């Protein structure tokens, strides 16, 4: 079956939207991971009285 130029254009647009959504989800996941890491570092520093080099 042959796709028309219009159909192909629609598929490209849909793929672009899907990729943009996936990129946004990946960025949100990375931000959450970095936030968790920051919290863990803060807890370790608080537990060690903020001494440098004690991680």
d(C-alpha 54, C-alpha 5), whole Å: 62
**What does pTM read for this prediction?**
0.66
d(C-alpha 7, C-alpha 48), whole Å: 62
The DSSP-derived string for the chain is: -PPPHHHHHHHHHHHHHHHHHHHHHHHHHHHHHHHHHHHHHHHHHHHTTT-TT--
d(C-alpha 26, C-alpha 9), whole Å: 26
* pLDDT tens digits in sequence order for the chain, 55 residues long: 578 988 999 999 999 999 999 999 999 999 999 999 999 999 999 999 866 654 5
């Amino acid at each position: 079956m042959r796709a028309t130029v219009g159909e192909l254009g629609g598929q490209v647009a849909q793929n672009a939207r899907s990729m943009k959504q996936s990129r946004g989800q990946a960025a949100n996941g990375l931000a959450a991971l970095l936030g968790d890491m920051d919290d863990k570092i803060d807890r370790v520093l608080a537990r060690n009285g903020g001494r440098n080099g004690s991680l």
